[in-house]
Structures are given as structure tokens and as C-alpha cells.
């Protein structure tokens, strides 16, 4: 259900903020900063690998936005 409802937004969010999260983790010393989002994105990517018919084509969206 999550893959259908919020996969695109989760992928878009994580692609934009993953580098910021890594930097914040090292600066703040809080290794779990946004770890839930990272985990959700990883699980969604695995699920999309198993179910390509649900692909949200986020790469095209990212290209259009940037």
C-alpha cells in the first residue's frame, strides 16, 4: 500500500536530502538522523525491484525538477 500511495514522494525526498542527512549525522553525532526515512526508501526500492509495474519513474521527475 505504501508503495502505491507515497513511493514517489519518499523517493524524491530521499534523493534530495540523503546527502544532507549524512552531513548532519556527522556534524551532530546523531547517527540515527532520518534513519527511518532511509530505511523506508531502501525497502521501497527493494519492493519496486520485485514489482517493476509500480515504478514511479522518479528519475524523469527529478530531471524535470532540477
62 band by pLDDT with thresholds 50, 70 and 90: low
Grid cell 556534524 in the structure block, residue: 27
pLDDT in tens, 19-42: 999 999 999 999 999 999 999 999
- Sign of the CA dihedral running 42, 66, 20, 1: negative
> For the chain, first and last CA: distance in Å?
28
Q: Domain limits of the chain?
A: 7-51+58-65
Q: Do 10 and 40 meet the contact criterion of CB atoms below 8 Å apart? A: yes
Q: Hey, what's the cell of 45?
A: 526500492
Q: Which of 7-11, 20-24, 32-36, 57-61 is the least confident region?
A: 57-61
Amino acid at each position: 500500500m505504501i508503495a502505491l500511495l507515497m513511493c514517489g514522494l519518499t523517493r524524491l525526498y530521499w534523493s534530495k536530502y540523503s546527502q544532507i542527512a549524512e552531513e548532519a549525522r556527522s556534524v551532530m553525532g546523531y547517527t540515527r538522523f532520518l534513519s527511518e526515512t532511509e530505511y523506508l526508501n531502501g525497502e521501497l526500492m527493494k519492493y519496486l525491484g520485485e514489482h517493476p509495474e509500480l515504478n514511479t519513474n522518479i528519475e524523469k521527475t527529478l530531471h524535470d525538477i532540477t
